[in-house]
Amino acid sequence: MITFHNPFHQGHAPVHEFFRGERVPCFEKPQRVDYVEEALRLRGHEIVPPDVDSSPVLAQIHTPRYLAFLQNAWQQWVALDPANASLQPFPSVWPVRSLRSDVEPDNFVAKLGLYSMDNGTPMAEGTWQAIKAGADAAASAAARVAQGARAAFCCTRPPGHHAGPDFMGGYCFINNAAVAAQWLRSQGSTRVALLDVDYHHGNGTQSIFYDRSDVLFVSLHGDPCTEYPFYLGHADEAGQGEGAGFNLNLPLPAGTSAAQWFAALEQALWRIAQYDADTLVVSLGLDAFEDDPISKFALKTSDFTRLGERLANLGLPTVFVLEGGYAAEELGTNAVNVLEGFEQQVAAA
């Protein structure tokens, strides 16, 4: 399986974040992808840079105003004061409920709050270059599958599934899985299924496709009553308008065992089969791992091989997009186990 990687991901290297009220070193760090790429190389996988420009679909999943902000945010931050080059910007005010969000303020920190769902998504000087290259990698993987490949992997960071049409959050800025799904639609796929197996609900992906029936979104994740992103991911969220019935959330309690998790996966795969999808995008979060520092499920390394095998049994052309997973040293093994489980099952079929 070919892997499209992000040659600029290390440029997005903020030093700290705010986690549950504390300033802590970033969990989402460059070493995450370094470990995945190392595991891929050790096990003989082909890794190539992006060969597709994602720009044609970016404005179909994110608003132009938000994209313009992302592209220029660091320059605006430093223009306020050259000393800001050594500081990380964080929002301090958000337009909740009755406050207006239709007018973009001139104040930079207020803009940052307008486009942020939390204060745990830090920026750095190389953030725009990194997130654009990640979107290009996702589009490249989707293009390869659209051209006839059985599967392709987008190995990138920062992740994307918390990024919505006009907001960032949860370390995410551009929604790479949504880029892949939209690229597949642009190349003729009529019924794309997007399965999110990250521990945290892909609220951004849900928001992007919530009123659409051409992309089915299915997610199994930690119960939002206790787990990030808290305000989306409940079981009663089923889509609206044309998208009614095309969103399935399977929230699970903290401490969920591998057996319980795979039972929920079977529900997810049954819905995808019922949908009669012609292609599959997998938001491959690996933080359901038992030793992940910010998650509370109990999957073992061997369970990720089983996940890959089960996904292959759907028989669909598949794009894998790396999302979360913060046990950095084990992340590479767990990611490659999914890919190789998938490939071995395809070869055996």
Residue 218 predicted with pLDDT over 90: yes
- Name residue 81's amino acid: D
The gap from C-alpha 24 to its chain's centroid, in whole angstroms, comes to: 22
Q: What is the mean pLDDT of residues 69-88?
A: 97
Confidence class of residue 243 from pLDDT cuts 50, 70 and 90?
A: very high
Average pLDDT taken over every residue of the chain: 97
For the stretch 146-159, what's the b/e string if a residue is b when 16 or more beta carbons lie within 10 angstroms of its beta carbon?
Answer: beeeebbbbbbbbb
Give the H/E segment covering residue 284. Answer: strand 279-284
Confidence class of residue 349 from pLDDT cuts 50, 70 and 90?
A: confident
Q: What pLDDT is stored for residue 251 in this prediction?
A: 98
Measured at the CA of 179, the angle between CA 132 and CA 99, to 5 degrees, comes to 80
Confidence class of residue 18 from pLDDT cuts 50, 70 and 90?
A: confident
Residue 236 predicted with pLDDT over 90: yes
Residue 21 predicted with pLDDT over 90: no
Residue 73 predicted with pLDDT over 90: yes
Q: What pLDDT is stored for residue 19 in this prediction?
A: 83
Judge contact between 245 and 239, C-beta under 8 A: yes
Q: What pLDDT is stored for residue 89 in this prediction?
A: 96
Q: What pLDDT is stored for residue 291 in this prediction?
A: 95
Number of domains in the chain: 1
The 3-state DSSP class for residue 152 equals: strand
Q: Report the C-alpha gap between 310 and 85 in whole angstroms.
A: 47
Prediction pTM value: 0.97
The encoded tokens of residue 61 equal 């999943």
The gap from C-alpha 348 to its chain's centroid, in whole angstroms, comes to: 29
Residue 301 predicted with pLDDT over 90: yes
Phi and psi at residue 3, to the nearest 5°: -115, 125
Output the domain CATH number for residue 255: 3.40.800.20
Q: Report the C-alpha gap between 230 and 71 in whole angstroms.
A: 28
The domain of 275 spans: 2-348
Lowest mean pLDDT across 12-21, 72-81, 218-227, 231-240: 12-21
pLDDT in tens, 104-152: 999 999 999 999 999 999 999 999 999 999 999 999 999 999 999 999 9
What is the DSSP pairing of strand 151-155 with strand 47-48?
unpaired
Q: Report the C-alpha gap between 158 and 172 in whole angstroms.
A: 6
Phi and psi at residue 133, to the nearest 5°: -65, -35
Confidence class of residue 20 from pLDDT cuts 50, 70 and 90?
A: confident
Residue 93 predicted with pLDDT over 90: yes
Confidence class of residue 271 from pLDDT cuts 50, 70 and 90?
A: very high
